[in-house]
């Protein structure tokens, strides 16, 4: 019984590592998407700030 349980334990451990590797890989893809979204958001914010600055400068004093 012990050799069978030992092999089963090895297979379960290998499966856990495989699933963890897949989870990490999927998170890395998600990280790239989040970083891209943040970059786009920062660009939009900077454009809005620039337009607001132009508006304020164009106001009569």
Rounded mean pLDDT of 2-17?
86
Averaged pLDDT of the chain:
88
Residue 1 resides in a domain: no
* pLDDT score of 45 more than 90: yes
The per-residue pLDDT for 39 is 94
Residue 31 resides in a domain: yes
pTM for this prediction: 0.56
| Domain total in the chain | 1
- The phi and psi torsions of 11 (rounded to 5 degrees) equal -65, -40
Residue 45 resides in a domain: yes
Q: Supply the range of the domain harboring residue 56.
A: 24-61
Furthest-apart CA atoms within the chain: distance in Å? 90
Residue 57 resides in a domain: yes
Residue 47 resides in a domain: yes
Residue 12 resides in a domain: no
Residue 33 resides in a domain: yes
Residue 15 resides in a domain: no
């Amino acid at each position: 019984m012990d050799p069978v349980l030992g092999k089963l334990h090895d297979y379960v451990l290998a499966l856990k590592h495989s699933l963890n590797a897949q989870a990490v890989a999927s998170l890395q893809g998600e990280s790239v998407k989040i970083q891209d979204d943040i970059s786009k958001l920062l660009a939009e914010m900077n454009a809005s700030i620039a337009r607001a600055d132009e508006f304020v400068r164009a106001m009569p004093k």
